[in-house]
């Protein structure tokens, strides 16, 4: 198959569709068309979708009180693009403060939320290709814009990997053009992605070229922390929906900071890919557990256990942990701290 930029674009849209996003084709949604969702090409927000989301996510807030947050989002501005983006991010993160009268005449101070962070399924997810924005004399058409509740939070610029003159950093340069020529679209942005269909890099509005970082996949050699389901398959204080979030992050950081003398000695062996070129991590979160040393390439976990591990309750915990880790295809090497020095030798 001959690879073109449109091929990459179509594949990206297919992946969004598989994830449950609604899909839109920019020219069909353009102002004046039957499926139009904007009155002019200068608008970046899909106002109808945002208005409906404000209603759906804030049912207890009267309709008239929801109008002010809508206006504030549509008119958000603070001098420069970066300051405006930060002002919008605060509204997105913290909600929009509103006040309104209760039936008894008292005043209610409340928050109107633009996005439901507790239940992502309650939001309206839409990916649109070839979304034209006209600002002043500039007419630009980004490859894919990702809307959440009508807000253009994501932008993806694609290039053809088969074209030697069109690199992934050509896409990065295109993003800089968008920032200069159609800032109205970028004032709402939360993530910028460039890709040629073979690799992808992601950054923020203020990221320089070097800070656009490679996209990490669950099965990559250098995976994101703990994508694995928890052993129980249920949520816990460290997991929601069976998947890891930040509950264990603080504990893992503490263990890295306060490692034992034996762990310090043992870490000197694999750190910086000194051991057969393999990448090891310290205090790596894997499902409900924190592994002292973890290598994804070798599917290996190394535990250097201190005196508390000799207690019966701890031994039972360790046996359960090891059984789960092995069920996930990992090899577990467990040794007492006093013997770890022999390993290093």
Residue spans per domain, the chain: 5-214, 239-344
Which H or E element spans position 30?
A: none
Query: What would the two tokens of residue 52 be?
Result: 């409906």
Q: What pLDDT is attached to residue 279?
A: 86
pLDDT band at 286 (very low <50, low <70, confident <90, very high): confident
Mean pLDDT of 80-108: 93
Q: How far apart are CA 200 and CA 208, in angstroms?
A: 15
State the pLDDT at residue 230. Answer: 42
Strand locations in 89-143 (E): 96-101, 107-112, 125-129, 133-135, 138-140
Whether domain 239-344 has CATH 3.40.50.300: the reply is no
pLDDT of residue 75: 95
- Are the CB atoms for 144 and 12 separated by under 8 Å? yes
In angstroms, the CA 323 to CA 181 distance is 57
Could you tell me the CA-to-CA distances from 166 to 161, 194, 275, 283, 285 in Å, in that order?
7, 12, 38, 40, 38
pLDDT tens-digit map of 111-124 = 999 999 888 889 99
Mean pLDDT of 27-54: 95
Given a cut of 50, whether residue 88 has pLDDT beyond it is yes
């Amino acid at each position: 198959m001959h690879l073109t930029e449109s091929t990459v674009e179509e594949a990206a849209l297919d992946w969004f569709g598989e994830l449950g996003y609604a899909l839109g084709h920019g020219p069909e949604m353009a102002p004046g068309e039957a499926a139009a969702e904007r009155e002019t090409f200068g608008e970046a927000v899909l106002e109808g979708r945002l208005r409906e989301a404000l209603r759906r996510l804030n049912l207890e807030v009267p309709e008239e009180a929801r109008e002010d947050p809508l206006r504030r989002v549509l008119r958000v501005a603070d001098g420069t693009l970066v300051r405006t983006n930060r002002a919008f991010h605060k509204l997105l993160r913290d909600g929009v403060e509103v006040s309104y009268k209760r039936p008894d005449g008292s005043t209610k101070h409340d928050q109107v939320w633009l996005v439901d962070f507790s239940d992502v399924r309650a939001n309206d997810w839409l990916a649109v290709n070839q979304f034209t924005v006209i600002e002043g004399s500039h007419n630009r058409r980004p490859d894919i814009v990702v809307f959440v509740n009508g807000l253009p939070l994501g932008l993806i610029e694609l290039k053809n990997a088969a074209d030697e003159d069109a690199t992934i950093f050509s896409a990065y340069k295109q993003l800089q053009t968008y920032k200069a020529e159609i800032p109205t679209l970028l004032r709402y942005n939360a993530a910028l992605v460039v890709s040629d269909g073979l690799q992808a890099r992601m950054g923020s509005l203020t990221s320089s070229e070097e800070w656009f970082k490679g996209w990490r996949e669950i099965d990559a050699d250098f995976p994101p922390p703990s994508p694995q389901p928890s052993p129980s398959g249920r949520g816990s204080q460290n997991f929601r929906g069976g998947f890891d979030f930040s509950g264990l992050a603080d504990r893992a950081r503490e263990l890295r900071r306060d490692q034992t003398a034996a762990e310090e000695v043992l870490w000197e062996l694999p750190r910086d890919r000194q051991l057969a070129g393999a990448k090891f991590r310290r205090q790596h979160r894997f499902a409900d557990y924190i592994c002292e040393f973890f290598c994804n390439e070798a599917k290996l976990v190394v535990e250097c256990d201190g005196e508390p591990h000799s207690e019966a309750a701890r031994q039972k915990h360790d046996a359960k942990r090891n059984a789960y880790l092995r069920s996930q295809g990992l090899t577990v090497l467990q040794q007492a701290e006093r013997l770890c020095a022999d390993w290093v030798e």
